[in-house]
Amino acid sequence: MEENPFRSSCTQFADGGGLSRFSSRHGRLSRTYLADRLRGARTYDRIAGYFRSSIFEIVGEEIEAIEKVRIVANADLDAEDVEAAQKVRDAKLFQRFTDDDIVVDATVHRGRYAKLYELLSAGKVEIRVVPRTVAPFLHGKAGVVRGDSGAVAFIGSINETRAAWEHNYELVWEDSSPEGVEWVQAEFDELWAQGKPLPEAIIREVGRLAERREVEIVEFATNPALVAPAALVESPIYRDGESLQPWQRAFVSQFLAHRDTYEKVRALLADEVGVGKTLSLAVSALISVLLGDGPVLILVPSTLTEQWQIELLDRLGMPVARWHSTKKCWIDPAGRTIKGAGASDVARCPYAIGIVSTGLIVHGMDRHGSPKAGSEAEHLLRRKFGMVILDEAHKARGSEPIGSTARTPNNLLTFIERIATRTRHLLLSTATPIQTSEKDLWDLLEALNQGAEFVLGTSFSHWRRPDVVLPYLKGDRQVADLREGWQLLTNPLPPVADDDLIADIRDALEMKPGEWATTKFASDISNPVVTAKADMELTGLREGLGYFQRDNPLLRHVVLRKRRDLEKLGLLPSLPVEIHPNRDVPPPDHLFRELSLFTSDAFDTAYQAVNAFTKAYAKRDKPAGFMKTLLLQRLCSSQAAGIATALALMGEGELDDDVQEEMEGEAFDALADERRHLRTMIEALQGSDDPKLRAVQYFLDEYRSASRSWREMGSIIFSQYYDTSAWIAESLSRAYPEQVIALYAGSGKSRLLVDGNATSIGRAQIKKLVANRDIKLVVATDAASEGLNLQTLGTLINVDLPWNPSRLEQRIGRIKRFGQTRTRVDMANLSYAGTIDEKVYRVLSERMKVSSDILGTLPETIDADWIEDIETLEKRLRDYTVPRKRFDPFESKYAAGLNKDDQRWDEASAVFARSDIERILSTGWPTKRG
C-alpha cells in the first residue's frame, strides 16, 4: 500500500508489515484513509456496528469497483428471534431499517440508493446481521481489505457511516502484518457465520426508495388499482415490516373490480373469525374516499367503535371519528370531544369516515320500521354516502312470526335496507351469515340488492327465493334444459368478464352496458349457435358441478375464506391452544373447585345482592335481564369492576358507553330499594381479596409449561373492562416491583407500571417494547387489542370470559401468530365457581376444543337469551361447531389463487404523501344532503 501523508505514526515489524495510526484530526478519514485503501481492492470485509439505514452511506465510487464487499452488523435480534420464522426476523430488521427518516434520506441521496440497489441485487455487496446473543453490541469496529498489493486490517471507532468517516472525531489503527490481518479476518468470519442474511424486503425497499416519487391522486384516476399500494406502502402496517395478507388484498381487488363493472359495490364479507375482516373493509373505505366516492359510514356494535378507530389509526394511519352515543358528539382519533349541536351532528362528521354504533340505530327505529323523530337514524337516512359498512351484519335479520311465512325485518335490517338506496357502496361483514337457516343469508343479500338489482335481480328473479335456488346451489337439482335455466341465468345476468357465453348472449339480445336483467326469452336469440352453446353450458357438469354451482350471485357477492384453508396454504399459522385449567392437570385445590375459582364470602354476598337488585328493578315494569347481565358480567370479571359499576349506577361514576346506549342515554336514577342492594354489594367487596389475582399469580409463577414459568415465557392478560385491567396491572406491579408491566388500553389510558408507579405511554411504544422483549407482561383491554401482535409472548390469561366467542378468538390471535417460537400456546380462563360465568365457560371451552380444526364456525356473539338456559347454550354452540353438510363452492374460488398472489404493494414507488392522505381523511362530510 502506498504511503499516506496524513498518517499520524507508523511502527514497522521486524517480521514484515507494520502498525499505522490515523486520526481524523489530520484530515477526513474518508479521503485520507478509506478511499486510498479501497482503491484497487478486490475484497472488503467489514464489522460495521449497529444495523440501521445509515450503514449504507459509504456507497458508490469507494466500493463500486470492488469484486466482493461483505458487511456484518449488529441487530435487535435475540435467541428467540433467531428461532422464530424468517418472516418475523425479516419484519423486525425491516422495522429497524425504516426507523430512521429513510424517506428524506433517500430523497436527498437518490443516486446512492440506486447504486446500492444495483450492488445488492447483483450480489456484489452482502450484508448480514448478528443477534445480540452473539454480540450484545458490536463496539469493535474493524475491517480487512485485500488487493493486488497485499492485505491490511484496521480497527477503530468508526461506524460504516459518512458522518463517521468524514465528520466525527475517529481513530483508526491499521495492521498490515499477516498475523494481524488473519486475526481480524477470523473475528469477521466467526460473526459472518452466525449472522442472518439481509432480508429481500430491505433490498426491495432500497430499490423502491431509489425510484420513489410522490404523485397526486388524480394521476391514478384511470387506474384505481394503483391507489391502494400508493396509499399504504408507507403506512404503519408496512413500515412495521408487515403487510396486508393476500386474501385481504384480494378483497380490495374485488372491490375495485366490482366498482369498475357495476359502478357500485355490493359485497358480503363472510371470512371466518380471526382472518382479519376489519383491515379488508377499512382499506376499501380508504380507497373509496381517495377516489372521491363520498363520505363513509361504518356501523359497528358500541363495544367495538373505539377498537375500530384505534386499529384504523395504528395499523393504516387512517384518522377517523367515532360518534359518542350518549354525549351526542364526535370523538377524534386522539380521544378529544368535538363539541356540536346534539343528535343532528351525527350527519356532519368532521372526518371523511365516521363510526357509529349499531345499537344506536336499533334504538332509533320504531316498531313500524321508521326512524324516530330527531334520532340519529333519522338524520343519517337523510343524507347520501359513498360507502356504508355494517360489521357483525348477522344482527340484521328477519324473523317469521307465528302463523306467518313472510319475513319481518328487525330494526337494524330495516335501516340497512333503507340506507342501501342512499349509498354507492354497501359492504356487510359477518363470520356467521347463517344463524338458524339460509333465510338469514338471504336477508343480507336482499339488503345488498336494494338499489342494486345486479345482486339478486328484479322482483321476478328466482334468486330472490332461496327455496327455489338452493337445490341448484347444493347440487340436489340439475338444469334439464335451456328453458329451465334461462331465468336463473339472465335475472341477474352475470358480468361478461372472460365468459364468451355471456358476451354472446348480450350481443344477441342487444343489451346495453349496465343492464343486468332481460325480459326476453332464449327463443329471441336468432343465432342457433349461441342457443346451443347456452343449452350445453347450463345442462352440463364440469368436475361434477352444475353451472349454477360454479357461477351464481352468492359467489359473485359473498366472499368467504376459511381459516383451515388458509392454514393448509401456509398463509396462517396452525398452532394448537392448550386450555387451562383442565382435568388432565388438576389445579391446586386451595384455589379451584374443579376448574373454577372458589369464591369468598364477600363475593357470595355481592352476588346475592345483584339478584336482589334485579328483583327490585323488575318492579319498575321494565325487563330486568339487561341490568342483571350488566352487573353479573362485571362482578364476574373482577371485584374492582363490580364496585365501579355499582358506584356508577348510584350516580358516583360513569357507565360504559354501551351501557348508556342500551339505556338510550337516560341517566339511571336508582330507587331506595335498589340503592340499598347496590350499597350491600359495594360494602361486601371493598377491602376484600379477589381470588382472581391469586389465580393470575399462580399461572404466572407456579404453573409451568415446557419447564418454564409463564412469567418467564411472557404473558398477555386480557379483560373486557378497563377497571379490571387497571386493577390487575396495578396489583401485579406491586407484587413484582422489579418488573415492567404494560397496561395496553384505549385513548390516553395506556401506561407502564414499575413498583406501582405509572407512566403514560403510547400504544405504539408498548408494541415496540414487547417486540424487543423488553416487556414480558402485558395487561390489555379488548378494545385496544387489534393490531397488537404478541408472538413474543407464549401464554394468555383471560381474567374474564367474554360472552362473545369471536372476541375470545381475537384474544388468542394476539399470540397465535407467525414467529411464535412455541409449538403450542397456553391459555388460562378464569371463572368463579357457582356463577353464570362458570356455566358459559364450561360449555364454550368444550366447544372450542371440538372446533380447533374448524375455527370460525363458532358464532360471533352469544345472545343474552341463550345464557339463561344452559342447555340452550350447549345446543346452539353444538349447532355451530359440528360441521354441517352444505354446499361449499367458496373453497375452490377463493383459496386456490391466494398462493399465486403477485400484488407487490410493498414495492410501489409512486406514492401519495402521508400529509395528502391525512388531509383528505380529515375533511368532513359535506353539509349538503341528498
**Is 567 inside a domain boundary?**
no
Q: Which of 881, 899, 922 is the last residue of a domain?
A: 881
pLDDT in tens, 567-586: 788 787 676 778 888 888 88
Q: What whole-number distance in Å separates Cα of residue 428 and Cα of residue 598?
A: 43
pLDDT of residue 854: 26
Residues near 244 by beta carbon (within 8 Å), at least 6 away in sequence? 232, 237, 252, 279, 280, 283, 905
Return d(Cα 583, Cα 560) in angstroms, integer: 36
Q: Are strands 41-50 and 68-74 parallel, antiparallel or unpaired?
A: parallel
Q: Say what the pLDDT of residue 158 is.
A: 58
Same domain for 15 and 150? yes
Classify burial at 321, counting beta carbons within 10 Å of its beta carbon; exposed 0-12, middle 13-18, buried 19 or more: buried
The answer to whether residue 120 sits within a structural domain is yes
Give buried/exposed letters for 25-36 (b at 16+ CB in 10 A, else e). eeeebbebbbeb
CATH number assigned to the domain comprising residue 838:
3.40.50.300
Inside any domain, residue 582: yes
Q: Encode pLDDT of 197-230 as tens digits.
A: 888 888 898 899 999 999 998 888 889 999 999 9
Q: pLDDT above 70 covers what percent of the chain?
A: 80
**pLDDT at position 572:** 75
- For the stretch 441-472, pLDDT in tens is 999 999 999 999 999 999 999 999 999 999 99
SS3 196: strand
Handedness of CA 271, 804, 325, 746 (dihedral sign): negative
Q: Which residue has the higher pLDDT, 518 or 88?
A: 518
Q: What is the mean pLDDT of residues 674-701?
A: 94
Range(s) of the domain holding residue 540: 459-551
Q: What is the pLDDT of residue 580?
A: 86
Q: How confident is the model at residue 819 (pLDDT cuts 50, 70, 90)?
A: very low
For strand 777-781 and strand 715-719, is the pairing parallel, antiparallel, or unpaired? parallel
Residue 177 has pLDDT above 60, yes or no: yes
740 and 843 co-located in one domain: yes
Whether residues 173 and 297 fall in one domain: no
Verify that 520 and 623 share a domain, yes or no.
Answer: no
Per-residue model confidence (pLDDT) at position 525: 92
Does residue 1 lie within any of the structural domains?
no
- Placement of cell 491499521 in the chain: 174
Give the burial class of 350: count Cβ atoms within 10 A of its Cβ; 0-12 exposed, 13-18 middle, 19 or more buried: middle
Instruction: Give me the CATH number covering residue 362.
Output: 3.40.50.10810
Using one digit for the tens of pLDDT, what is the confidence trace for 723-779?
999 999 999 999 999 999 999 887 678 899 999 999 999 887 888 788 778 889 999
- Whether residue 353 sits in one domain with residue 292: yes
Domain co-membership, 337 together with 201:
no
Q: What is the mean pLDDT of residues 522-528?
A: 92
897 belongs to a structural domain: no
Mean pLDDT over residues 556-568, rounded?
85
pLDDT band per the 50, 70, 90 thresholds, residue 666: low
Residue 139 has a pLDDT of 59
Residues 659 and 700 occupy one common structural domain = no
Residue 195 vs residues 72, 80, 130, 140, 188: alpha-carbon distances, Å: 7, 14, 4, 16, 10
Q: Are residues 479 and 397 in the same domain?
A: no
> Given the C-alpha cell 342457433, which residue does it identify?
528
More confident call, 859 vs 73: 73
Taking residues 804-825, what's their average pLDDT? 57
Query: Which grid coordinates are listed for 870?
Result: 344452559
Q: CA distances (Å), 650 to each of 11, 671, 673, 682, 693, in order?
A: 86, 9, 12, 11, 27
Q: Are residues 251 and 382 in the same domain?
A: yes
**How far apart are the C-alpha atoms of 435 and 707, rounded to whole Å?**
43
Both 816 and 838 in one domain: the answer is yes
Q: Which secondary structure element, helix H or strand E, spans residue 501, and what is its range?
A: helix 500-509
Q: What is the pLDDT of residues 190-200, one digit of tens each?
A: 999 988 888 88
CA nearest to 729, candidates 715, 746, 713, 741? 741
Number of structural domains found in the chain: 5
Domain membership flag for residue 568: no
* pLDDT mean over 680-691: 92
**Are 779 and 873 within one domain?**
yes
Interval 864-876 mean pLDDT: 47
Tell which of 208, 228, 246 closes a domain: 208
Given the C-alpha cell 353464570, which residue does it identify?
A: 836
Q: What is the pLDDT of residues 265-314, one digit of tens each?
A: 999 999 877 778 999 999 999 999 999 999 999 999 887 898 899 889 98
- Mean pLDDT to the nearest integer, 590-612: 92
Residue, of 546 and 161, whose pLDDT is higher: 546
- Considering the domain boundaries, does residue 739 fall inside one? yes
Least confident range from 138-147, 374-383, 413-422: namely 138-147
- 415 phi and psi angles, rounded to 5 deg: -60, -45
Instruction: Show which of 150, 179, 208 is a domain's final residue.
Output: 208
What is the model's pLDDT at position 857?
45
Task: Compute the average pLDDT of residues 841-853.
Answer: 52
pLDDT, residue 930, reads 47
Q: With a cut of 90, say whether residue 535 has pLDDT above it.
A: yes
Measure the CA–CA gap between 634 and 225, rounded to whole angstroms.
47
Helix (H, G, I), strand (E, B) or coil at 297: strand
Same-domain status, 59 and 178: yes
Residue 566's φ and ψ, nearest 5 degrees, are -70, -35
CATH number of the domain where residue 80 is located: 3.30.870.10
601 CB-near residues (< 8 Å, 6+ apart): none
Quote the pTM value. 0.80
As a whole number, the mean pLDDT across the chain is 83
Q: Which of 90-94, 245-249, 352-356, 662-666 has the highest mean pLDDT?
A: 352-356
Lowest model confidence (mean pLDDT) among 251-255, 268-272, 351-355, 857-861 = 857-861
> How much is the pLDDT for 432?
78
pLDDT band at 867 (very low <50, low <70, confident <90, very high): very low
- The pLDDT, as a whole number, for residue 90 is 72
Say if 557 falls within a structural domain.
no
Contact 47, 128 (CB under 8 A): no
